[in-house]
Structure 1
């Protein structure tokens, strides 16, 4: 079965991404993406499938997977009283490579990044330390959160009992997904370059030489949302940055991110951010 290529949405102003998934039942989702994934599973038992490896997930299961490694996780028994937790950190190869190169203190991390292509599993003790570092994570500033990530990477380096899951680095699945990566990158680059203008689903489909239904299916498969939802979030995230980093009038910012109607912009922004653009600027600038 071919893995679905997932596009991990990056927040503007951030170099990496952290997200918590809490589910009553975790269903299997065979997928791959272009980022490293550090995933911590808690409070459930399940099955993991990573390239040609299959194994069990126990409480405090901590794994590091390299870009292009197909994987899925599935709960095999759970209770509604205790939700399945997955704490996931994604970061790009380019970013972590530059970080290691420019920081001598992080050089021990190089071997871990290299060995992640075989799938690394860390001790439950390290997993618990990582979880403790993530407590109150959302209350921290972006710099504070980055400092926590550095501490977590330090915990990975200190773990001398880490093991590899794969007997060899799996490249076959990665090669099969290269075309998908290129296709998704092409879509994202087009939207990034044209989000301020009117880019309908038909225009994007014509650019990619496919049908509108095909583009719609790509977004559901690879982005886990519709094209309109993706475009709206992109525009509003750019608007958020402009509100905080410029003195441009809100009407001009709305036009710059593709809204021709100020009322529609205000309504969409409030729905997405929970407050009006003017209040967002006043509260966070």
Structure 2
């Protein structure tokens, strides 16, 4: 649940990370990784934010998250999805100029040729899922062929060259963000101010504030409250803990502030959200 650098480990038997998810409701805060990530939504809905741009995924939608793109997801009412993550080194071995190659694949695309290519990606992921589940003799050979076929489509049909999108340059700034986000994640339940966070990281408050807003796209206080809300949300929908206790142990000191922020983000009160999740699970 962290806005942090995420280390992607491949499945033990294949060169990528492939997972099937059944999600009853969750929120993954902003984070990044060097792997190329593809989310294919099978059922339900999913909200994805990539570099400050919101995308709403419905059943049978697919989205590609490029290496080092800052992204987050919200699943409000449950969904099922498959997620494929291809390590950067794997891409680097087979794709020329990968550091300045950006793949464009999301639900807003209307170009008919691109839609055909996106449908091909869906078929590949569906085949990937079936073959990997069965693990018949020689399945790794077939899986590898599907990986290369998927990358071939992305490179030839759904990519652009963009010098502004240079992952080698982005690494420097994201390494500094690691320190900031780690500090917030370790201390979000405590009393934190912009000044105290900047002091912990040996940065001036002014620089810290500008740097954070530039690369995260929001103020430090809004980000901190969002992290607190995410932790409170998980506790709310997965436990019977009293709401006042949830508020207190997730760093909020003002009941009214929490209720206002919660309603602004989830369009309901905490009690209403708890009932929604339970009704959907039933």
Task: Report the TM-score, using the length of structure 1 for normalisation.
Answer: 0.51
CA displacement 1:202-238 (0-9 Å, x = unmatched): 0111011111111111221111111111111111111
Any stretches of 5+ residues in structure 1 without a counterpart? 1-6, 18-31, 40-61, 70-90, 99-109, 135-146
- How far off its partner does 1:68 sit? 5.1
Alignment of 1:1-285 (within 5 A): 13=26, 34=34, 36=36, 67=67, 96=85, 115=94, 118=98, 119=101, 127-129=114-116, 150-151=125-126, 158=149, 163=155, 174-285=167-278
Match of 2:12 in 1: none
- How far off its partner does 1:33 sit? 7.2
Q: Measured at CA, do residues 223 and 265 of structure 1 come closer, stay the same or move farther in structure 2, by a change above 3 Å? A: same
- How far off its partner does 1:195 sit? 0.6
- Is contact 2:36-2:64 (8 Å) kept? yes
CA distance in 1, matches of 2:193, 2:259: 21
Task: Report the TM-score, using the length of structure 2 for normalisation.
Answer: 0.52
Any stretches of 5+ residues in structure 2 without a counterpart? 7-24, 40-61, 70-81, 106-110, 130-145
Q: Measured at CA, do residues 224 and 9 of structure 1 come closer, stay the same or move farther in structure 2, by a change above 3 Å? A: farther
CA distance in 1, matches of 2:86, 2:154: 21
Corresponding residue SS for 1:96? strand
Number of residue-to-residue matches in the alignment = 193
- Is contact 1:38-1:64 (8 Å) kept? yes
Q: Measured at CA, do residues 195 and 112 of structure 1 come closer, stay the same or move farther in structure 2, by a change above 3 Å? A: same
Q: Measured at CA, do residues 219 and 33 of structure 1 come closer, stay the same or move farther in structure 2, by a change above 3 Å? A: farther
Match of 2:53 in 1: none
